[in-house]
Structure 1
């Protein structure tokens, strides 16, 4: 018996070094930005984490997860928000039982989903956004922590997850918060190399429900998660992977199209073009209502063109007249000079003959 105990302890220590919190890859990767954008998270409560096959949503022996996953994929185009499905633990006699469905950020729960009800549930709740006709909608309260413990999918989560779950439960009980904070193991959420992985759904400082993802979480971090994130609403940046509903790039692009006063740049350009076009139209045509309903309209552009044409004609006439005046003046001057010269020559001959 003693030998068996020593062997188990040795195996646990070996697992911790290879797959647990002592593994060499811990803290080697940047965590921020490792969550794909999405808007809604659906959790299906089903059995326990140590019983899930590697691909529990595709398992032929686990029809409920398979049917719900298939229905979500089939109606993907009909669901208005990007929805993610994860399996969480459901144990009869506890807060969560097999078939219960939790939906975030709506913070609602439906109990006892059956295989025959999957299509109607997806149609009513996820496609049409209405209460499920075959079930009773319940409100969720408090903070909900989901820890990836999917051992058959990846050994790292299988080693780290259960340890974190027990630590959270221990801390929550010590603080007397069992009716305010709830922790459960969940299936693969992506990023096994970041184990321990967890998602927290809790109200932010403004009262909105936000789903925050954390990685590289160890048992020593659990008090900080409870104190800093859940109690104070402050993100633990060194462990933070991302958040449900946040589209950083889209927000940046939107800001690029805004002026300092908050107005939309595209709209401003469009309005400026419309105003310019409107002013041109006003300059082109103006109308007034005459006596007895007779309308007198003037085409501004036509008057302007006519004025230009008339101006050119008058200028041409003036230039022509000036040209003619200069020519006659020159001829007259030449005639006068010629006459004077003739008189001078005649007078010269007269003096000589005398």
Structure 2
């Protein structure tokens, strides 16, 4: 194991992040298996420090579009849900720092190791996704909300519709239980949701990587006996608590794989986010098909982080002996 990788493992372990020490991921003399054709399609930055290259976020939303590529800046498309949501966030969100004050440095912990909690930020990440809307209203779109692990089936791309969405679901002051209890959102019925950046108009590297990664994730998960979905299904509406529904989702042995717009760091392609019902997000980068088997085995099935691929993690610290699959 290189000194850099060893330091990363020690750093994450000190933060109570469950880590995998898969020897293949830290091999100084990698084999040719699954590397050649993929790696020759584009250049990847393997030299820069990877961990900590993501700013903390409070929530991330994925807007249904039924597409796998979008305008370069999705929040600049006039009249789009992404644009309206950005404007609403800027108008209604609490300021990131006191008026007239100097922008503070992010907490040292988030600067140095990229492991953060939802409470570390009020930032909202706005992405478009490949899922087709399941709203009954053809003028509305369905939006996934993380780490809440919910779907809001119908959000209208209008000022009134987005204001309502913000105030009833996204306001940082709201707990996840509020929109669920009011019937505004429903728990996603999957053991994990895997997001793959495929935004070609931002950078072709992720557009090349995403389909290959999706195919490999499907193969590896199905080999493990899981169901794999690429279309968002209507969640069951049952009179159960949020905790019960999340536990049922975690035990379903199913995954939803979606492609998304730009999440940052195309030079680290492929970029992969894995959200789990336990409220966590593991954000990997420099992922090729060669790494997918290890991600499925160690992260999705065992609940451990692969340090060499980690850009950031949300809510991934655990008490000693616990994994990301524990509650």
TM-score bracket for the superposition, by shorter chain length: 0.5 to 0.7
- Partner of residue 264, structure 2: 190
- The answer to whether structure 1 residue 236 and structure 2 residue 306 are counterparts is yes
Shift of 1:185: 0.4
User: Higher helix fraction: Structure 1 or Structure 2?
Assistant: 1
Which of 120, 123, 137 matches 2:167?
123
What pairs up with 1:123-202 in 2 under 5 angstroms? 123-127=167-171, 129=174, 130-131=178-179, 136-141=184-189, 142-178=191-227, 180-202=254-276
Q: Distance in 2 between matches of 1:110 and 1:24?
A: 38
**Cα distance change of structure 1 residues 47 and 65 upon mapping to structure 2, 3 Å threshold:** farther
What pairs up with 1:1-354 in 2 under 5 angstroms? 21-22=39-40, 23-50=42-69, 52-60=70-78, 63-77=80-94, 81-91=122-132, 99-116=141-158, 117-127=161-171, 129=174, 130-131=178-179, 136-141=184-189, 142-178=191-227, 180-202=254-276, 208-244=278-314
Contact 1:167/1:222 (8 A) holds in 2: yes
**Cα distance change of structure 1 residues 246 and 174 upon mapping to structure 2, 3 Å threshold:** closer
Q: Distance in 2 between matches of 1:73 and 1:93?
A: 27
Q: Which one has a bigger Cα radius of gyration?
A: 1
Q: Distance in 1 between matches of 2:220 and 2:181?
A: 39
Q: Distance in 1 between matches of 2:86 and 2:180?
A: 18
Shift of 1:73: 2.3
CA RMSD for the aligned pairs?
Answer: 3.0
Contact 1:86/1:189 (8 A) holds in 2: yes
Shift of 1:236: 0.6
Deviations 1:132-176 (CA, angstroms, capped at 9, x unpaired): 899642112310110111011111111112221222123223333
Q: Distance in 1 between matches of 2:164 and 2:179?
A: 11
Q: Distance in 2 between matches of 1:24 and 1:194?
A: 9
**Cα distance change of structure 1 residues 133 and 118 upon mapping to structure 2, 3 Å threshold:** farther
Q: Distance in 1 between matches of 2:182 and 2:68?
A: 28
Q: Which runs of 5+ in 2 are unaligned?
A: 1-34, 97-120, 228-252, 318-327
Q: Which runs of 5+ in 1 are unaligned?
A: 1-15, 248-354
Q: Distance in 2 between matches of 1:161 and 1:113?
A: 27
Aligned to 2:60, the other structure's residue is in SS state: strand
Q: Distance in 2 between matches of 1:133 and 1:47?
A: 28
**Cα distance change of structure 1 residues 120 and 133 upon mapping to structure 2, 3 Å threshold:** farther
Aligned to 1:111, the other structure's residue is in SS state: strand
Q: Distance in 2 between matches of 1:161 and 1:194?
A: 13
TM-score, reference length from structure 1: 0.57
Contact 1:110/1:135 (8 A) holds in 2: no
**1 or 2 for the larger relative contact order (CA 8 Å, sep ≥6)?**
2
- Partner of residue 347, structure 1: none
Contact 1:21/1:160 (8 A) holds in 2: no
Query: Number of residues paired by the alignment?
Result: 223
TM-score, reference length from structure 2: 0.61
Contact 2:74/2:127 (8 A) holds in 1: no
Q: Distance in 1 between matches of 2:83 and 2:90?
A: 11
